[in-house]
Amino acid sequence: DTGVSQDPRHKITKRGQNVTFRCDPISEHNRLYWYRQTLGQGPEFLTYFQNEAQLEKSRLLSDRFSAERPKGSFSTLEIQRTEQGDSAMYLCASSLVSGDNQPQHFGDGTRLSIL
Amino acid sequence: DAKTTQPPSMDCAEGRAANLPCNHSTISGNEYVYWYRQIHSQGPQYIIHGLKNNETNEMASLIITEDRKSSTLILPHATLRDTAVYYCIVSLVYGQNFVFGPGTRLSVLP
Protein backbone atom coordinates (compact mmCIF):
# COMPACT_ATOMS: atom_id res chain seq x y z
CA ASP A 1 0.00 0.00 0.00
CA THR A 2 1.58 3.29 -1.07
CA GLY A 3 -1.01 5.61 0.45
CA VAL A 4 -0.77 7.84 3.52
CA SER A 5 -0.36 5.73 6.65
CA GLN A 6 -1.35 6.78 10.15
CA ASP A 7 -0.59 5.09 13.44
CA PRO A 8 -2.29 4.21 15.68
CA ARG A 9 -5.78 3.99 14.19
CA HIS A 10 -7.38 4.32 17.61
CA LYS A 11 -6.13 5.78 20.87
CA ILE A 12 -7.96 5.83 24.18
CA THR A 13 -6.40 7.72 27.03
CA LYS A 14 -7.26 9.44 30.27
CA ARG A 15 -7.59 13.18 30.55
CA GLY A 16 -4.28 14.81 31.32
CA GLN A 17 -2.13 12.25 29.56
CA ASN A 18 0.12 13.01 26.59
CA VAL A 19 -0.42 11.32 23.24
CA THR A 20 1.60 11.16 20.03
CA PHE A 21 0.42 10.22 16.57
CA ARG A 22 2.51 9.35 13.55
CA CYS A 23 1.90 9.99 9.86
CA ASP A 24 3.86 8.48 6.96
CA PRO A 25 3.07 10.40 3.77
CA ILE A 26 3.17 9.11 0.23
CA SER A 27 6.78 8.68 -0.78
CA GLU A 28 8.35 11.85 -2.25
CA HIS A 29 5.41 14.04 -1.27
CA ASN A 30 6.99 17.23 0.01
CA ARG A 31 3.94 18.73 1.69
CA LEU A 32 2.26 17.22 4.73
CA TYR A 33 -0.92 18.43 6.46
CA TRP A 34 -2.67 17.72 9.73
CA TYR A 35 -6.43 18.14 10.15
CA ARG A 36 -8.86 17.44 12.97
CA GLN A 37 -12.42 16.20 12.48
CA THR A 38 -15.17 16.03 15.06
CA LEU A 39 -18.37 14.05 14.68
CA GLY A 40 -20.67 15.38 11.97
CA GLN A 41 -18.24 18.09 10.83
CA GLY A 42 -15.81 18.39 7.97
CA PRO A 43 -12.08 18.24 8.68
CA GLU A 44 -10.47 21.39 10.09
CA PHE A 45 -6.94 22.42 9.18
CA LEU A 46 -4.33 22.37 11.95
CA THR A 47 -0.92 22.80 10.36
CA TYR A 48 1.22 21.94 7.37
CA PHE A 49 4.85 21.29 6.47
CA GLN A 50 6.80 21.87 3.31
CA ASN A 51 9.61 19.33 3.63
CA GLU A 52 10.77 19.78 7.25
CA ALA A 53 9.60 23.39 7.63
CA GLN A 54 6.32 24.06 9.43
CA LEU A 55 4.85 26.86 7.32
CA GLU A 56 1.42 27.49 8.79
CA LYS A 57 -0.42 26.80 12.02
CA SER A 58 -4.12 27.27 12.63
CA ARG A 59 -5.42 29.10 15.68
CA LEU A 60 -6.91 25.70 16.58
CA LEU A 61 -3.39 24.49 17.31
CA SER A 62 -3.11 25.50 20.96
CA ASP A 63 0.19 25.48 22.84
CA ARG A 64 -0.59 21.95 24.02
CA PHE A 65 -0.21 20.75 20.44
CA SER A 66 3.10 20.33 18.67
CA ALA A 67 3.93 18.85 15.30
CA GLU A 68 7.25 17.89 13.81
CA ARG A 69 8.59 16.57 10.54
CA PRO A 70 12.27 16.22 11.38
CA LYS A 71 13.64 14.76 8.16
CA GLY A 72 10.99 15.89 5.78
CA SER A 73 9.44 12.44 5.63
CA PHE A 74 7.18 11.17 8.44
CA SER A 75 5.53 13.54 10.88
CA THR A 76 4.36 13.35 14.49
CA LEU A 77 1.59 15.24 16.23
CA GLU A 78 1.77 15.41 20.02
CA ILE A 79 -0.96 16.58 22.36
CA GLN A 80 0.09 17.33 25.92
CA ARG A 81 -2.25 17.32 28.93
CA THR A 82 -5.18 16.04 26.90
CA GLU A 83 -8.65 17.44 27.52
CA GLN A 84 -12.12 16.07 26.78
CA GLY A 85 -12.42 18.49 23.86
CA ASP A 86 -9.44 16.88 22.15
CA SER A 87 -11.54 13.82 21.34
CA ALA A 88 -11.64 13.75 17.55
CA MET A 89 -10.30 12.09 14.42
CA TYR A 90 -6.85 13.39 13.52
CA LEU A 91 -6.20 13.20 9.80
CA CYS A 92 -2.96 13.49 7.90
CA ALA A 93 -2.68 14.32 4.21
CA SER A 94 0.20 14.73 1.81
CA SER A 95 0.72 16.26 -1.60
CA LEU A 96 3.44 16.92 -4.12
CA VAL A 97 4.04 20.57 -4.87
CA SER A 98 5.38 20.66 -8.39
CA GLY A 99 4.80 22.39 -11.68
CA ASP A 100 1.24 21.18 -11.99
CA ASN A 101 -1.52 21.19 -9.45
CA GLN A 102 -1.72 18.05 -7.34
CA PRO A 103 -4.45 17.14 -4.85
CA GLN A 104 -3.98 16.20 -1.22
CA HIS A 105 -4.26 12.52 -0.36
CA PHE A 106 -5.54 11.61 3.08
CA GLY A 107 -4.86 8.79 5.46
CA ASP A 108 -7.62 7.05 7.41
CA GLY A 109 -6.84 8.99 10.56
CA THR A 110 -6.24 8.34 14.23
CA ARG A 111 -9.36 8.40 16.37
CA LEU A 112 -8.62 9.81 19.82
CA SER A 113 -10.98 9.22 22.71
CA ILE A 114 -10.38 10.99 26.03
CA LEU A 115 -11.91 9.32 29.08
CA ASP B 1 -15.48 29.67 6.88
CA ALA B 2 -15.92 27.39 3.88
CA LYS B 3 -16.22 29.19 0.55
CA THR B 4 -18.71 26.63 -0.75
CA THR B 5 -22.37 25.83 -0.17
CA GLN B 6 -23.78 22.35 -0.63
CA PRO B 7 -27.15 20.75 0.16
CA PRO B 8 -26.92 18.80 3.42
CA SER B 9 -28.30 15.59 1.99
CA MET B 10 -29.43 13.90 -1.22
CA ASP B 11 -30.84 10.54 -2.24
CA CYS B 12 -30.16 8.69 -5.47
CA ALA B 13 -31.46 5.39 -6.83
CA GLU B 14 -28.89 2.71 -7.48
CA GLY B 15 -27.81 2.68 -11.13
CA ARG B 16 -28.95 6.22 -11.77
CA ALA B 17 -26.73 9.27 -12.13
CA ALA B 18 -26.05 11.24 -8.96
CA ASN B 19 -25.68 14.98 -9.54
CA LEU B 20 -24.21 16.83 -6.57
CA PRO B 21 -24.29 20.64 -6.77
CA CYS B 22 -21.91 23.11 -5.19
CA ASN B 23 -22.05 26.90 -5.08
CA HIS B 24 -18.81 28.86 -4.86
CA SER B 25 -19.84 32.35 -5.88
CA THR B 26 -16.76 34.05 -4.36
CA ILE B 27 -14.22 31.84 -6.11
CA SER B 28 -11.18 33.73 -7.38
CA GLY B 29 -9.50 33.27 -10.73
CA ASN B 30 -6.67 31.07 -9.54
CA GLU B 31 -8.68 28.80 -7.26
CA TYR B 32 -9.43 25.22 -8.19
CA VAL B 33 -12.57 23.26 -7.35
CA TYR B 34 -11.84 19.96 -5.61
CA TRP B 35 -14.21 17.14 -4.75
CA TYR B 36 -13.60 14.57 -2.05
CA ARG B 37 -15.80 11.98 -0.44
CA GLN B 38 -15.66 10.36 2.96
CA ILE B 39 -17.05 7.00 3.87
CA HIS B 40 -17.67 6.39 7.55
CA SER B 41 -14.48 5.79 9.58
CA GLN B 42 -12.19 6.46 6.61
CA GLY B 43 -10.25 9.52 5.54
CA PRO B 44 -11.45 11.76 2.70
CA GLN B 45 -10.90 10.21 -0.72
CA TYR B 46 -9.89 12.42 -3.63
CA ILE B 47 -12.34 12.28 -6.56
CA ILE B 48 -11.59 15.00 -9.07
CA HIS B 49 -10.59 18.65 -9.45
CA GLY B 50 -10.75 21.36 -12.08
CA LEU B 51 -10.14 25.01 -12.82
CA LYS B 52 -12.30 26.10 -15.74
CA ASN B 53 -12.91 23.19 -18.05
CA ASN B 54 -15.10 20.20 -17.41
CA GLU B 55 -13.15 17.20 -16.24
CA THR B 56 -13.77 13.46 -16.32
CA ASN B 57 -11.96 10.53 -14.80
CA GLU B 58 -12.77 6.94 -13.96
CA MET B 59 -14.74 7.95 -10.89
CA ALA B 60 -16.77 10.98 -11.90
CA SER B 61 -17.30 14.04 -14.07
CA LEU B 62 -16.98 17.63 -12.93
CA ILE B 63 -19.01 20.30 -14.66
CA ILE B 64 -18.00 23.91 -13.87
CA THR B 65 -20.23 26.75 -15.04
CA GLU B 66 -18.76 29.32 -17.37
CA ASP B 67 -18.77 32.00 -14.65
CA ARG B 68 -17.19 29.42 -12.28
CA LYS B 69 -19.64 30.30 -9.54
CA SER B 70 -20.99 26.79 -9.28
CA SER B 71 -20.15 23.23 -10.20
CA THR B 72 -21.74 19.79 -10.30
CA LEU B 73 -20.15 16.46 -9.53
CA ILE B 74 -21.70 13.65 -11.54
CA LEU B 75 -21.45 10.00 -10.59
CA PRO B 76 -22.80 8.41 -13.79
CA HIS B 77 -24.06 5.11 -12.37
CA ALA B 78 -24.32 5.30 -8.61
CA THR B 79 -23.82 2.14 -6.58
CA LEU B 80 -24.48 1.44 -2.92
CA ARG B 81 -20.76 1.89 -2.27
CA ASP B 82 -21.05 5.52 -3.36
CA THR B 83 -23.01 6.30 -0.20
CA ALA B 84 -20.78 8.84 1.56
CA VAL B 85 -20.36 12.49 2.51
CA TYR B 86 -19.20 14.50 -0.49
CA TYR B 87 -17.15 17.66 0.02
CA CYS B 88 -16.68 20.47 -2.48
CA ILE B 89 -13.65 22.67 -1.75
CA VAL B 90 -12.10 25.65 -3.48
CA SER B 91 -8.41 26.17 -3.03
CA LEU B 92 -5.47 27.95 -4.55
CA VAL B 93 -3.02 26.33 -6.91
CA TYR B 94 -0.81 23.79 -5.14
CA GLY B 95 -3.63 22.94 -2.77
CA GLN B 96 -3.14 25.11 0.24
CA ASN B 97 -4.85 23.98 3.40
CA PHE B 98 -8.39 23.00 2.57
CA VAL B 99 -11.40 24.59 4.26
CA PHE B 100 -14.08 21.92 4.45
CA GLY B 101 -17.76 22.65 4.88
CA PRO B 102 -20.23 20.06 6.22
CA GLY B 103 -20.61 18.50 2.73
CA THR B 104 -23.53 16.61 1.20
CA ARG B 105 -24.53 13.25 2.61
CA LEU B 106 -25.43 11.14 -0.43
CA SER B 107 -27.52 8.05 0.18
CA VAL B 108 -27.72 5.59 -2.72
CA LEU B 109 -30.90 3.58 -2.34
CA PRO B 110 -31.45 0.05 -3.70
pLDDT for the residue A53: 93
Distance CA(A44)–CA(B33), nearest Å, equals 18
**B45-80 residue pLDDT tens:** 999 999 998 999 999 999 999 999 999 999 999 999
Of B44, B51, B94, the CB nearest to A106: B44
Chain A residues touching residue B2 (CB < 8 angstroms)? 42
pLDDT of residue A72: 86
Phi, psi of A86 (to 5 degrees): -80, -10
Closest residue on chain B to A48 (Cα): B97
Q: What torsion do the CA atoms of B30, B22, A87, A12 make, to the nearest 10 degrees?
A: -100
Q: Where are the alpha helices (DSSP H) in B64-108?
A: none
**Span B10-41, pLDDT tens digits:** 999 999 999 999 999 999 888 899 999 999 88
Q: How far is B16 from chain A (nearest CA, A)?
A: 27
Higher pLDDT, B89 or A97: B89
pLDDT digits (tens, 9 = 90+) for A47-99: 999 999 999 898 888 899 999 999 889 999 999 999 999 999 999 999 988 76
